[in-house]
Amino acid sequence: MLELQGLTRRFGAVTAVDGVSLRVPDGQLVGIIGRSGAGKSTLLRMINRLCDPSAGRILHDGRDITTLRGQALRHWRTDCAMIFQQFNLVPRLDVMTNVLVGRLNHVPAWRSLAGFWPEADRAIALSALTQFDIGQLAAQQAGSLSGGQQQRVAIARALVQEPAVILADEPVASLDPRNAQLVMDALAEINRNYGITVLVNIHSLDLARQYCGRLIGLAAGQLVFDGPPEALTQDAARRLYGLEAAEATGAEAAPRLYAVA
């Protein structure tokens, strides 16, 4: 169970995340929604401790994550893998090596530095790639792949970390609709097959509704919606995305509920 208690982050005068409290039982696939600047990235970055909270606590299985330092923090970052919009692969390295980077905390440092990755780890990496239909790309330079392929490599890298939680920060924002589906399929598969908790920031409300069993809506850093997609009425979605303002000025509301930046 992942638990946030009054989690807050201020940047000067801006309160990016404002007293967010929630519980995520193991194995949920949670979509975090809200307009641009609502605090979605900051929330995920705090959970991974890429960004320190100004107030509040993060607990995982009762353990206080907020105070972790040094090796304990490195272990948490293995337990809690992060996926980014821009993939964060090493473009000049081949796909297999990029995925093996996810095994770093499972392999003695000298072996990985010398390029002696154990056969068992190579097999794990290849199996992750094959699962996402990109096993045949293992020897290619990561930078030569399409965006959708690169994101699936990043998901394979996260998976071989054997994490309890995956945090995906706008993983489909720079992909075309077909690739966005493939990447969301990969996240859903990980969630279903391994019971890994997935928290995904997502702009497209259609995708969020399609894939996530639970939606968490942020507005100006505050939790304003928490429930299943069916509970997110058209009105609630409008409030979340501020489409009322567009209507008030005579602009047409988007016919499909896509988040507008």
Ligand X SMILES: Nc1ncnc2c1ncn2[C@@H]1O[C@H](COP(=O)(O)OP(=O)(O)OP(=O)(O)O)[C@@H](O)[C@H]1O
Contact footprint for ligand X (CB under 6 A): 11, 14, 16, 34, 36-42
Q: How far is the CB of 117 from ligand X (least distance, A)?
A: 35
Q: Which is nearer to ligand X, 76 or 241 (CB)?
A: 241
As measured in angstroms, the least distance from the Cβ of 119 to ligand X is: 40
Find the shortest distance in angstroms from Cβ 131 to ligand X: 29
Contact 168, 83 (CB under 8 A): yes
22 touches 4 (CB < 8 A)? yes
Instruction: Give the residue with the Cβ less far from ligand X, 33 or 104.
Output: 33
Report the distance separating Cα 4 and Cα 19, nearest Å.
Answer: 9
Q: Name the residue nearer to ligand X (CB basis): 38 or 198.
A: 38
Q: Which is nearer to ligand X, 112 or 151 (CB)?
A: 151
CB of 260 to ligand X, least distance (A): 11
Beta bridge mates, 84: 169
43's tokens: 């929330």
Least gap, CB of 15 to ligand X (angstroms): 8
Which residue intervals of the chain are DSSP H helices?
40-47, 70-79, 95-100, 109-113, 119-131, 147-160, 177-194, 205-211, 234-241, 243-248
> Given the complex with ligand X, which of 131 and 222 has the nearer CB atom?
222
CB contact at 8 A, 258 and 237: no
For tokens 């409300």, the residue is: 205
- Choose among 35, 32, 41, 40: nearest CA to 244: 35
Nearer to ligand X, 41 or 98 (CB): 41
Q: Tell me the closest approach of the beta carbon of residue 33 to ligand X, in angstroms.
A: 9
Distance (Å, whole) CA 189 – CA 133: 12
